[in-house]
Amino acid sequence: MAEPLFTRVDRPVGKLVSDVIEGRVGLPDLQRPFVWKDSDVRDLLDSMLRGYPIGYCILWEAPDDQEEKKVSIGLNEKNYATPKELVIDGQQRLTALVSSMYGVPVKDQSFSDRTIRIAYDPIAREFHTWDAAIAKDAKYIPDLSAVFEAKRKNEATKFRREYIKRLNEANAKREVPELDDDGEAAVEDGINELLNLETTYVIPILSISNKADEEQMSQIFIRVNSGGTKLNEDDFIMTLLSVYEPETRQRIEDWCEDSHKPGVGTSYNALLTIKPSHVIRATVGLGFGRGRLRYARLILNGRDLETRETSVAKREENFEKFDAALDKVLDLNDWHAFINALGEAGYVNGGMVSSENTIPLTYAITLIAKHRFGITGMELQRIAKRWFSMAILTQMYTGNFESVFEQQMNSIDELTDADAFCAWIENEISSRLTDDYYGVTLPNELDKNNRLERFPCCPSSAGISRAL
């Protein structure tokens, strides 16, 4: 057996959460959409209180050279300028614990800040998701983070007395006897049992050595699935950005957040809620001529895609190139010109876009046309409309779309000027939208799959005609 690339470094939950708060452990998901429901967090805490396992976490030792970088990840001011370890698996669970136990806001799926509030009944030892009724029920501590806050301030005894007083007052109004000694003891035991989770509940942790090369790390990362959302290349890439370029990561996330919030001077559009992977795909396509997301990971880890060698110098060079391409991808003038072109082709809402990857990949093609081949104005708009309509009709960017886009990037790399590029565009479109396609394939697909299922809210024939 090969030498293990990991060690067991189990930690009490309080120590692990404290490491996140202080910045020793980088938890990138604190700046990303938190997908768990409050009921999931409640169940997590209930499992811990009952002594049930909640799964393990995987941490990645930060690269040695990262010590030189003065960056901060996650929560406000920290004792550590840079994280010593990064969370690779267990991000949602740790985010849930940090927010519910320490009152730290997280971003929900609408990219709005919210704090997870879980109520606790210390007598019954029960958790409950917060709501207005629970907040008014004196038997509950409405937000259990208040208990841990009292402990940190050495005010746990005061907190317990105030809780008992509030409960007795509520009981008196309902003509229920006050708590006797046994009742008060039950309150104290229940609160202590909650607080003791910090020291008595141990989370199994696997620490991956920073000696593991990027291929080994990637394989570990991709294969791990401990019960939550399946890990993918996108997660790993955003983790790398957290280590080396947190400002770049923040730019990407802000742009994605703005994509579904109406406003002036934002990336808002009615077609797609942009994800970081969309931005990264377009950036790597434009800047490096690559179509597979895994190349972004290799590039950001310092891989020379020609020599296959990895170095710090190459990583810095790649980041400069990545940032330059990202500037072009995030340019709001180009972005809205592209979205407006799709609107002129008849695509005016997300229901008309059957594959979300079609938008960022067509955008990358459009930016390549502009920045590499100097195509602008009406011709650029025409390319965007024609390519997008062809891609939607033929479902070009579904299924094994990365292979398709990679082949297209390779073909474009061989082109020398704008005329050659435009000729290539025309050839790609005509080779897919043949007479047989319109006369046989498209009618059969519409009949077989139901027009509304495969082509929801398909643009009018006039819109398609304007595009093609």
Express each pLDDT in 142-156 by its tens digit.
999 999 999 999 999
Q: Quote the pLDDT of residue 74.
A: 41
Signed CA dihedral, 226, 230, 233, 238: sign only: negative
Predicted confidence (pLDDT) per residue in 122-171, tens digit: 999 999 999 999 999 999 999 999 999 999 999 999 999 999 999 999 99
User: What pLDDT, on the 0 to 100 scale, is given for residue 54?
Assistant: 94
SS3 118: strand
Report yes or no: 29 and 92 within 8 Å, Cβ to Cβ. Answer: yes
Q: What is the pLDDT, as a whole number, of residue 265?
A: 84
Cα 234 from Cα 85, distance rounded (Å): 19
pLDDT value at position 261? 80
Cα atoms found within 13 Å of the Cα of residue 172, Cβ hemisphere only: 7
- Cβ-contact 113, 45 below 8 angstroms: no
Q: 1-25 burial, b for 16+ CB within 10 Å, e for fewer? A: eeeebbeeeebbbbebbbbbbebbb
Confidence of residue 68 (pLDDT cuts 50, 70, 90): very low
Strand, coil or helix: 55 = coil
What pLDDT, in 10s, does the model give residues 87-109? 878 888 999 999 999 999 887 77
pLDDT of residue 213: 61
Q: Cα separation of 235 and 349, whole Å?
A: 28
pLDDT tens per residue across span 430-455: 999 888 777 777 777 766 655 444 44
Cβ density class 103-120: b for 16+ within 10 Å, e for less: bbebbeeebeeeebbbbb
**Alpha-carbon distances of 388 from 95, 139, 311, 464, rounded to whole Å:** 38, 59, 38, 10
> Using one digit for the tens of pLDDT, what is the confidence trace for 200-244?
999 999 898 877 765 666 567 666 654 444 556 777 788 778 767
Give the pLDDT mean for 390-416: 95
pLDDT score, position 39: 96
> What are the C-alpha distances in Å from 337 to residues 163, 258, 280, 456?
59, 17, 20, 24
**Residues of the chain by 3-state class (helix, strand, coil), percent to 5:** 55, 10, 35
Q: Where are the alpha helices (DSSP H) in 345-376?
A: 358-371
Contact 142, 134 (CB under 8 A): yes
> What is the pLDDT, as a whole number, of residue 291?
94
**In this structure, what is the dihedral angle of CA atoms 125, 131, 132, 136, given to the nearest 10 degrees?**
10
Question: Given this model, what pLDDT does residue 449 score?
Answer: 59
Model confidence at 179, in pLDDT bands (50, 70, 90)? Answer: very high
Q: Pick the more confident residue, 193 or 235.
A: 193
pLDDT of residue 241: 83
C-alpha to C-alpha distance for 353 and 335, rounded to whole angstroms: 17
What does DSSP say about strands 57-61 and 85-89: parallel, antiparallel, or unpaired? antiparallel
